[in-house]
Amino acid sequence: NGIGMSDMIDAIIGSFFQISTLFKRLDADGSYLREMQSDFAINNLLALISDAVANNDEKCIELRKSFEKFSYLWELDIASEFDKLCEESIVITEHGTKVVDYDKFDEEIRKCDEIQAEVAKIQCAIDIGWLRVNTTPVKRELSLLASNRRELFISHMRC
């Protein structure tokens, strides 16, 4: 798609090959592009770069997956989840009185606290190969989502 790290690296390498077309051959017509493309040392370096990029891609995908375990925080509708929890937490006593089971809300609040603690432990800058990934924006958003859920459950318990 032209916006990824691999695309940027391919463009840089392409520009090096483009330079070889700027010089005319002295022994024949044409440029030095063919020699650049068939040179063993250049091909070895291109293979090393390709392997490093592929390795970085895999590690970046692993990093993304480590955050995807929190995906329910942004994928699920908090209002419908809250309504569902409210319905599930109502207990009818033996006398027919409806009572709220606050233990279920406590459990959800604990989950939010655990998420915030786990997110706080994640490093703010993670080095992957030659890349430094700034995880601060993701950490901030995850913590905010967990905090919003927590506050919703706490405000309901106060009423």
Q: What is the pTM of this model?
A: 0.73
Residues of the chain with pLDDT under 50: none
- How many CB atoms are located within 10 Å of the residue 36 CB? 16
Q: Give the model's pLDDT for residue 159.
A: 61
- How many CB atoms are located within 10 Å of the residue 126 CB? 15
The answer to whether 149 and 157 have CB atoms below 8 angstroms apart is no
Q: Give the model's pLDDT for residue 142.
A: 96
Q: Give the model's pLDDT for residue 127.
A: 95
